[in-house]
Structure 1
Amino acid sequence: MSLHSDSIVIDGLNISKFDRPVFEDMKKGGVTAANCTVSVWENFPATIENIAEMKRKIRANSDLLSLVRTTDDILAAKRDGKTGIILGFQNAHAIEDNLSYIETFAELGVRVIQLCYNTQNLIGTGCYERDGGLSDFGREVIAEMNRVGIMVDLSHVGGNTSTEAIEASSKPVCYSHCLPSGLKAHPRNKSDEQLKFIADRGGFIGVTMFPPFLKRGIEATVEDYVEAIGYIINLVGDDCVGIGTDFTQGFGKEFFQWLTHDKGRYRRLTDFGTIKNPEGIQTIGEMPNLTAAMERAGWSATRIEKVLGQNWLRVFKQVWGA
């Protein structure tokens, strides 16, 4: 068996067009579990429908998938040769102004919620607006997420709001999918200081390969992705770093138009341009190439296993509980 097929492989963020071809590619890529986005701009009822639809897809594709509520479910997915689906949000918009919805979502299986998606909401500010920091309601949201075992994600959140959220949380928080601004200046990338700040406080960093944020953009290869992961490891060590690909497999221009406009329909926040994943890992099925690139870079098997999934597994257990 290869190192990749032996390892637990956890993708900290996937927002692909979830259907049978993507699920088959997850199996081909040896993905043990993935944080799959079921809410971005949707309100409470629309998000409930998205969760119901994802659960229907898990049942319809039960030969390939299982629902993840606990870290034991991730281990079971590995044993069964399936991909565990972690329900996650990329925005807390669906919470609206009702703290009790957080426990409701937890009971439905939601395990990761990003506080903001690029812009201001009731909790705080995203990375594309002037950042006023975490609101008092936001502090209540974090406390409730800590209580019910939902991980706080700060990937698209502004710097001030992120700092205050890291300090407010009693459990580890994460950037589920980010890149270092030390390799490329971009509003979505995190400075060395931000990366050290979250790591020093027990937080977690999932590294993305989304091309607009990579140093060489659409010219990047899987080696560039490994370079970015290595850059962050050199800053914070290899115990709090993992992968969060941000795969958008199966989607086209209309989807990115929706993502990049405020609330999905108002002002344009950013223009990604051409989306072309790094050569060698353009599809989920090519995930074994990432492990091979880590091996070519001279990484130890222990480090590779940590980054592929063991680190995520540990921090999820800290947040989700037994």
Structure 2
Amino acid sequence: MHTLHQESLVIDGLIIAKFDRAVFEDMRRAGLAAANCTVSVWEDFKTTVQNIARMKSLIRENSELASLVRSTGDILQAQRDNKTGIVLGFQNAHAFEDHLGHIEAFHDMGVRVVQLCYNTQNLIGTGCYERDGGLSDYGREVIAEMNRLGMLIDLSHVGARTSEETILESKQPVAYTHCLPAGLKQHPRNKSDEQLKFIADRGGFVGVTMFPPFLKRGIDATVDDYVEAIGYVIERIGEDCVGIGTDHTQGHGHEFFEWLTHDKGRHRRLTQFGTVRNPLGIRTIGELPNLTAAMERAGWKPSRIEKVIGGNWLRLFKQVWGA
């Protein structure tokens, strides 16, 4: 493994792989100290609880590779133990249903990152694929409760207006855990320079993804195109509030993308991804050291690289989750 990569704390802000032992092994090859791992998108409360139970059972069965993260201390411990810390995250607050009490219940289970909406409207606000009516009053209560508990609010798939209102409403920093700049490619999932500045100016965070449909060169992209996209964001908002959120979908097939791209997993089609093939050089989670090498090739200082591949995420988690 590459030396700077090996010596750094490495955190991926979003992975939605088909979690199993093979993925955990690949996370070790990647040198990941932690990753925000999606355990809920369209699922309701009960099914999400089952997903969490399955993930915890998977962590127990592979305890020499992975451990559950409830605090930043757990991330540092995972790094010392040569394990990957699994952060339980949602890509939709759908599982909260209409019950504020569910938020604390999920926090007790270990959930630390929750995206408010996934592509469409829910009880909280609106996603990026339909007309955005902004935050509901219930949404404001959800934000206050997530702030109280120390849960990171994610806005990657959230509409522009709901995002702006959330950034202003939240007493804690919020994040786009996995997004790309619209300045390099116009797409409903990409964020304009103004949106990137708006979140950063208010203490927020931007995780940059490499998901091919949102990249300038799509499935022809390489790891260097990913570095270019991260660099583009840094040029606009600085290197202290930017990280990586690869959005690796490893192990998933066509059926999974069909489910993701239909409203509630079963209704109208929201988007068409086409072929999903990750950038050359970082096709799999285990190839993550190639990203650090590409950043070095691009002439990035070691201090910047260390921040972007993990240091910044750790600082944000500390701030939001509390000691």
Q: Same fold (TM over 0.5)?
A: yes
Q: How far is 1:12 from its partner? A: 0.3
Point out 4+ residue stretches in structure 1 off by more than 4 angstroms. Answer: none
Describe the SS at the equivalent of 2:177.
strand
Q: How far is 1:245 from its partner? A: 0.2
| Alignment-derived partner of residue 307 in structure 1 | 308
1:198 aligns with 2:162: no
Describe the SS at the equivalent of 1:87.
strand
Q: Distance in 2 between matches of 1:147 and 1:303?
A: 32
For residues 213-265 of structure 1, the C-alpha deviation after alignment (integer angstroms, 9 at most, x for no partner) is 00000000000000000000000000000000000000000000000000000
Describe the SS at the equivalent of 1:59.
helix
Q: Distance in 1 between matches of 2:225 and 2:212?
A: 10
Identity of paired residues, percent? 75
1:66-105, aligned counterparts within 5 Å? Answer: 66-105=67-106
Give ranges in structure 1 of 5+ residues lacking alignment. Answer: none
Q: Distance in 1 between matches of 2:59 and 2:113?
A: 18
**Equivalent residue pairs, number:** 322
* Cα RMSD (Å): 0.5
Q: How far is 1:65 from its partner? A: 0.2
For residues 83-102 of structure 1, the C-alpha deviation after alignment (integer angstroms, 9 at most, x for no partner) is 00000000000000000100
| Alignment-derived partner of residue 277 in structure 1 | 278
1:205-224, aligned counterparts within 5 Å? Answer: 205-224=206-225
Q: Distance in 2 between matches of 1:90 and 1:219?
A: 27
Describe the SS at the equivalent of 1:12.
strand
Q: Distance in 2 between matches of 1:166 and 1:198?
A: 7
Amino acid at match of 2:252: F
Q: TM-score, normalised by structure 2?
A: 0.99
| Alignment-derived partner of residue 49 in structure 1 | 50
1:259-278, aligned counterparts within 5 Å? Answer: 259-278=260-279
Q: How far is 1:166 from its partner? A: 0.3
For residues 71-127 of structure 1, the C-alpha deviation after alignment (integer angstroms, 9 at most, x for no partner) is 010000110000000000000000000001000100100000000000000000000
Q: Distance in 1 between matches of 2:301 and 2:69?
A: 29
1:119-130, aligned counterparts within 5 Å? Answer: 119-130=120-131
1:30-179, aligned counterparts within 5 Å? Answer: 30-179=31-180
1:4-19, aligned counterparts within 5 Å? Answer: 4-19=5-20
Q: Distance in 2 between matches of 1:97 and 1:312?
A: 30
Amino acid at match of 1:19: D
Describe the SS at the equivalent of 1:41.
coil
Q: TM-score, normalised by structure 1?
A: 1.00
